[in-house]
Amino acid sequence: MKTNQNIDFPLDADWTTTEIVTVSKLYDLVLAANETTVDRDQLLTAYAAFKKVVSSKGEERQLDRQLQQQADVSIYKTLKQAQASTKKRFSMATGR
């Protein structure tokens, strides 16, 4: 896994600044969840906001693949485990 400083987040040139910030926030939380722990509700809220920007499943999959190539983390896998978790703090590293 690479640190945030070495990652070119997959972004769409047509997005507004606000949309880029929204998507980047999710990317940051997904990375953090794979390195340490994050607030589960914050992660799920960021994903809901992300879905307002990226409403197409196909586009979401494409961005997920690009993030996996860049940072070796998956939005899909991270969110799937976070949604299944009942803990307030969530981490992919510990599987909770």
For 10-49, give one letter per residue: b (16+ CB within 10 A) or e. Answer: beeeeeeeebeebbbbbbebbbbbbbebbebeebbebbeb
Q: How many CB atoms lie within 10 A of CB 50?
A: 23
What pLDDT is attached to residue 93?
76
Query: What ranges do the domains of the chain cover?
Result: 16-85
What pLDDT is attached to residue 54?
97
pTM: 0.89
pLDDT digits (tens, 9 = 90+) for 22-43: 999 999 999 999 999 999 999 9
Q: Is 16-85 in CATH node 1.10.579.10?
A: no
pLDDT digits (tens, 9 = 90+) for 54-78: 999 999 999 999 999 999 999 999 9
